[in-house]
Amino acid sequence: MLTEGLFYFFWFLAVVAFVFEVLALIDILQVPEGAFAATDKQTKKLWLILLVVANVVGLGGAVGFLSLLSFLPIGAFIVAAIYLADVKPAVKPYKKKGGKGGGSNSGPYGPW
């Protein structure tokens, strides 16, 4: 059995990992489908499924439903880390801008 201090340390790590998983899910929702094909990455649908599953597993680890030393929350964090470290930088130029149309018909002074 883990000591109380060690338990809280691993619980804190699980919560931090869950925050990263949520950030990855929020980020992928702002990237258009075509950006993944243009950058030679897996499809948006596949990454979306992986990140939703990672969020569910990460939530289970953060609230204590899954064992803190289980391999599932660790795997969920790895999925989010791969997305954030590899895929996000590649698709960043294609990311939709908040509040703006961002369509292909936008000129330097607005839509034309």
How far apart are alpha carbons 74 and 42 in whole angstroms?
21
Q: What end-to-end distance do the CA atoms of the chain give, in Å?
A: 66
**pLDDT tens, residue by residue, 60-83:** 988 888 776 688 999 999 999 999
Q: Return the residue matching tokens 């590899």.
A: 86
**46: nearest Cα among 94, 79, 86:** 79
- Domains of the chain, by residue range, sit at 12-92
Amino acid 105: pLDDT:
57
pTM > 0.85: no
What's the pLDDT at 3?
Answer: 85
